[in-house]
A and B are shown apart, each in its own frame.
Chain A
């Protein structure tokens, strides 16, 4: 331990950096209440709650929200299954191609999203697969695997092998060990990974633009509004709701994995 204090210049620069990261998001919260509906005028000429009611009655917003939730739910389940399988294989004894496998899992988010997107699209074209909810899920599950994988691999590293051996010595079958030893131990890592995967899928736009066809997820709806603004106040409200909806799983994932060596979402 050391007891020296930070130079004030450093502290100031660090806090200014954090402020730079947060002020734009806070601004969204103010704009959701503005009475101005044609420009992005600041300061807002007045404050109102009307736009919440208007947004509530918009079927297209609800439809996009519904599709996003469905896609995120299915992609998360697929990613949980595939990511956990992958993590348990990698945390076992070394095998040929183990390094290559961990690289393969990380690749979909290490390469720019547009490459994953256009690669999937050109494959769908070559294979004559028409765009549907399934094609969106295929893209999302692919890059969601890694967040589940990261969380579960970190947890397996902490789970000592002697516990599994003790379970086997006491006569448990592999499935009983899985049910009573492994699953309870990795449960919170699964939950955290699942929430991060959900947040990642719920927010994804780049890959989705290539795999969605005519369907609109919520981010695609927002992108439309950004490119061709029609309903600025509704966009403001949706933006605020999206911020709140994504913050909650991140906070939850943080509290679930706190104390461990792993950092939830450290490698988005």
Chain B
């Protein structure tokens, strides 16, 4: 070969001699994208939450103030925050209870084909369309739907009527009650709890469980004192998903539930028809702060090793 080596070879040599340069070339596009578009947008949101809206003209007042955050503490708005956080907590606890047997069986007993069956059995609902899942529950919970039909079939209608007559959580039908909202949240986010839980249960050493049995621990004691503490990071990791996703969702309570607002709906309503972008931004900061505290607590428990 005569003359200079081709450009690609020379370029490759430069990168070989200067690995930092290659790193910079690799990093620049994703950093620019995430840094400018995503972080830039988040900052824009944060800044807007410190603006306020003029009560008379309805125009945004571009002076930095905490007035909008004070607005959040008004009873009507604070109720929204409490309601959403409470719902997120209920959904998370229920999801942990239902997810545990699935995750435990899949991690400890399922082998070969059964393992694949369980894996896909969780993965397919996780990835199937969010809206289709919500729609399915609209069909199930409707007055003329399959749930009322089944309850009627086993002669439990009086029980359903009694449940719907409960104050606060009841309503004229399941699809306009908090119970309905809760069921749909639970259904849609359940796979997010199962997967990290299963991952952490897989890592519980078998010999510790056997040691517990050998020392005379009953199955319940083994579960309580050996398995649960070791699986806790996975449970917390799963709860991060269910908690965060419930906090920020605005579509499920809009379609299935009473007309009382959740944080997501408040954000959507204020930025849309009301045009109160600062209040919407301040509402959006609430889940960030709650999740920040939650993540901080979770990190101290070592939950991130299980993600």
Q: Which residues of chain B have C-beta atoms less than 8 A from A199's C-beta?
A: 127
Return B188 CB to nearest CB of chain A, in Å: 10
| In the complex with contacts A122-B281, A267-B307, A112-B105 CB distance below 8 A | no
Task: Report the separation of the CA atoms of residues A263 and B106 in the bound assembly, to the nearest whole angstrom.
Answer: 15
Q: Which residues of chain A have C-beta atoms less than 8 A from B122's C-beta?
A: 18, 21
Q: Does B190 contact A (CB under 8 A)?
A: yes
Q: Does B235 contact A (CB under 8 A)?
A: no
Q: Does B65 contact A (CB under 8 A)?
A: no
Task: Report the separation of the CA atoms of residues A28 and B255 in the bound assembly, to the nearest whole angstrom.
Answer: 17
Q: Does B45 contact A (CB under 8 A)?
A: yes
Count chain A CB atoms within 10 A of each CB in B34, B191, B249, B291 and give the residue with the most. B34
| In the complex with contacts A82-B29, A89-B23, A112-B249, A43-B130 CB distance below 8 A | no
Interface of B is mostly: helix
The closest CB in chain A to the CB of B246 belongs to: A112
| In the complex with contacts A17-B98, A123-B44, A239-B135, A85-B26 CB distance below 8 A | yes
Q: Does B31 contact A (CB under 8 A)?
A: yes
Q: Does A183 contact B (CB under 8 A)?
A: no
Query: Which segment, of A7-15, A48-56, A154-162, A184-192, faces chain B?
Result: A7-15
Task: Report the separation of the CA atoms of residues A251 and B124 in the bound assembly, to the nearest whole angstrom.
Answer: 8
Q: Does A206 contact B (CB under 8 A)?
A: yes
Q: Does A57 contact B (CB under 8 A)?
A: no
Q: Is the CB of A116 within 8 A of B12?
A: no
Count chain A CB atoms within 10 A of each CB in B9, B45, B280, B291 and give the residue with the most. B45
Q: Does A181 contact B (CB under 8 A)?
A: no
Return A78 CB to nearest CB of chain B, in Å: 8
Q: Does A59 contact B (CB under 8 A)?
A: no
Q: Is the CB of A222 within 8 A of B135?
A: yes
Q: Which residues of chain B have C-beta atoms less than 8 A from A219's C-beta?
A: 129-131
| In the complex with contacts A14-B102, A142-B33, A203-B129, A40-B38 CB distance below 8 A | no
| In the complex with contacts A39-B142, A250-B124, A112-B245 CB distance below 8 A | yes
**Other-chain residue from A40, A125, A226, A267 in contact with B142 (beta carbon distance below 8 A):** A40
Q: Is the CB of A113 within 8 A of B248?
A: yes
| In the complex with contacts A85-B30, A111-B248, A265-B126 CB distance below 8 A | yes
Which 7 pairs from chain A and chain B are nearest by CB? A112-B248, A13-B101, A173-B12, A14-B105, A174-B12, A123-B41, A119-B41
Taking Cβ atoms with an 8 Å cutoff, the residues of A that contact B are 2, 5-7, 10-11, 13-14, 17-18, 20-22, 24-25, 27-28, 31, 39-43, 78, 81-83, 85-86, 88-89, 92-93, 95, 101, 104-105, 107-108, 110-116, 118-123, 125-126, 138, 141-142, 145, 168, 173-176, 196, 199, 203, 205-206, 209, 219, 222-223, 226-227, 235, 239, 242-243, 246-247, 250-251, 254, 263, 265-268
Please name 5 pairs of A and B residues whose Cβ atoms are closer than 8 Å in the assembled complex, sorted by A. A22-B125, A27-B140, A28-B136, A40-B144, A242-B131
Additional A-B contacts beyond A17-B102, A219-B130, A243-B132 (9; CB < 8 A)? A18-B121, A89-B26, A104-B35, A111-B291, A114-B287, A219-B131, A226-B131, A246-B128, A247-B128
